[in-house]
């Protein structure tokens, strides 16, 4: 896509959205409209140095677009309300479903390609596997966030089947993403981030004891994916949408490494990145963690590869080393 293209990124003050903005800047894209709730000062460092053409409050986006009538070339809808549950469940309905419908319909009406964030949480505890060939109607998410993402996925698929969709769209199911610019996320930051903080301040890493006889302590598994790979996929999709001979099939795509790794291996990667021996303490999971905890995740990425994406993903060891040594140790932003 031409570097003069005008691109909207929602959730641009957050983790993945701010990394994508920085990535596009490095590729020479500066006509970027960043959209978010910018009232959270803890996110300011994620976006304040980025080269953009406009910053728009999330709740003012559609009025702003109608007022200025700027031609938009691509939309990345990465904004969402995250969390397992919320005292006011309507926040998931409003931000993750209804707002996403507005974005979808705007892109449909204006013929704008759209990439939006779904989530691996739509797979629930993984009892039905982690295949992006599986229809959203058959999935069983277990928390309010996963339910809200899956409800929008189901709606989007119905719209697409009725030919009421953008001509090009992709819903990306991100697995366990880690990397720079997640400093503000608190308890919702990645396991890699929290484990590094524990190693750096306490000299040990705390992992959950296993409550499943199939897994030893710390051998519960995740598909850890470095954020650089996530934004690489986003960029590839944007370029794909601009191809004249475009055979891309719109739909849902897993974004993970396709290789599951243990928490013990993650802890070892942090230890090696710090070049010191870090002990591991196995602790009892909280009641909330027991409710929503999955012992295994692994994103099948055959569909993404068949669509033409062939770039190699960071290994856990390479991704953790890059994150720790280039960002965490110096508290740098991307």
**153 domain residue, yes or no:** yes
Separation of alpha carbons 91 and 94, rounded Å: 5
| Structure tokens belonging to residue 143 | 């928390």
Mode of pairing for the β-strands spanning 7-10 and 32-36: parallel
Cα dihedral 49/59/236/132 (nearest 10): 130
Instruction: State percent of the chain over pLDDT 70.
Output: 99
Query: What is the tens place of the pLDDT at every residue in 176-192?
Result: 999 999 999 999 999 99
**208 domain residue, yes or no:** yes
**183 domain residue, yes or no:** yes
- Same domain assignment for residues 13 and 120: yes
pTM: 0.97
**238 domain residue, yes or no:** yes
- Same domain assignment for residues 217 and 307: no
Number of domains into which the chain is organized: 2
Going by pLDDT thresholds of 50, 70 and 90, the confidence category of residue 89 is confident
pLDDT exceeds 70 at position 169: yes
pLDDT at 246: 85
Query: What is the tens place of the pLDDT at every residue in 110-151?
Result: 999 999 999 999 999 999 999 999 999 999 999 999 999 999
Q: 195 is in which domain, residue-wise?
A: 179-222+259-298+321-328
pLDDT exceeds 80 at position 84: no
- Same domain assignment for residues 161 and 304: yes
pLDDT at 86: 58
pLDDT at 293: 84
pLDDT exceeds 60 at position 87: no
**84 domain residue, yes or no:** yes
**115 domain residue, yes or no:** yes
299 dihedral zone (left: phi>0; alpha: psi -120 to 50; beta) = beta
| Structure tokens belonging to residue 228 | 């650089």
Mean pLDDT of 30-47: 97
Going by pLDDT thresholds of 50, 70 and 90, the confidence category of residue 23 is very high
- Same domain assignment for residues 145 and 201: no
pLDDT exceeds 80 at position 255: yes
- Same domain assignment for residues 217 and 91: no
CATH classification at residue 188: 3.90.25.10
- Same domain assignment for residues 77 and 133: yes
Mean pLDDT of 15-37: 98
Cβ-based neighbour number of residue 230 at 10 Å:
26
- Same domain assignment for residues 229 and 213: no
pLDDT exceeds 60 at position 309: yes
Query: What is the tens place of the pLDDT at every residue in 197-223?
Result: 999 999 999 999 999 999 999 999 999
Query: What is the tens place of the pLDDT at every residue in 55-76?
Result: 999 999 999 999 999 999 999 9
- The catalytic site residues sit at 145, 185
Going by pLDDT thresholds of 50, 70 and 90, the confidence category of residue 88 is low
CATH classification at residue 105: 3.40.50.720
**2 domain residue, yes or no:** no
- Same domain assignment for residues 307 and 161: yes
Query: What is the tens place of the pLDDT at every residue in 216-233?
Result: 999 999 999 999 999 999
**1 domain residue, yes or no:** no
Going by pLDDT thresholds of 50, 70 and 90, the confidence category of residue 85 is low
Going by pLDDT thresholds of 50, 70 and 90, the confidence category of residue 83 is confident
- Same domain assignment for residues 105 and 29: yes
- Same domain assignment for residues 12 and 147: yes
Residue 25 neighbours by CB under 8 Å, 6+ apart: 32, 50, 51
- Same domain assignment for residues 115 and 204: no
Query: What is the tens place of the pLDDT at every residue in 261-293?
Result: 999 999 999 999 999 999 999 999 887 777 778
- Same domain assignment for residues 14 and 116: yes
């Amino acid at each position: 896509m031409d570097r003069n293209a005008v691109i909207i990124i929602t959730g641009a003050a957050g983790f993945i959205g701010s990394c994508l903005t920085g990535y596009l800047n490095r590729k020479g894209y500066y006509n970027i409209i960043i959209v978010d709730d910018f009232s959270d000062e803890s996110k300011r460092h994620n976006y304040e140095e980025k080269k953009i053409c406009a910053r728009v409050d999330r709740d003012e986006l559609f009025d702003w677009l109608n007022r200025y009538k700027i031609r938009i070339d691509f939309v990345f809808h990465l904004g969402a309300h995250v969390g397992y549950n919320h005292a006011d469940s309507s926040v998931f309905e409003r931000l993750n479903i209804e707002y996403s419908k507005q974005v979808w319909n705007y892109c449909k009406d204006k013929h704008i390609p759209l990439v939006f964030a779904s989530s691996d949480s739509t797979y629930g505890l993984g009892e039905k596997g982690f295949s992006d060939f599986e229809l959203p109607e058959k999935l069983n998410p277990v928390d309010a966030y996963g339910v809200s993402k899956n409800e929008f996925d189901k709606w989007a698929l119905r719209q697409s089947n009725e030919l009421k969709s953008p001509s090009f769209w992709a819903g990306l199911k991100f697995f366990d993403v880690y990397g720079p610019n997640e400093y503000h996320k608190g308890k919702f930051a990645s396991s890699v981030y929290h484990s590094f903080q524990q190693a750096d301040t306490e000299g040990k890493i705390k992992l959950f004891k296993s409550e499943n006889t199939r897994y030893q302590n710390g051998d519960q598994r995740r598909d850890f994916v470095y954020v650089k790979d996530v934004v690489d996929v986003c960029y590839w999709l944007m370029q794909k949408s601009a191809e004249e001979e475009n055979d891309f099939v719109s739909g849902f795509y897993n974004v993970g490494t396709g290789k599951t790794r243990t928490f013990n291996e993650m802890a070892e990667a942090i230890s090696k990145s710090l070049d010191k021996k870090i002990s591991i303490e196995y602790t009892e999971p909280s009641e909330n963690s027991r409710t929503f905890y999955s012992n295994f995740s692994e994103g099948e990425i055959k569909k993404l590869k068949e669509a033409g994406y062939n770039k190699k993903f960071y290994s856990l060891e390479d991704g953790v080393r890059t994150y720790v040594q280039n960002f965490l140790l110096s508290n740098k932003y991307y």
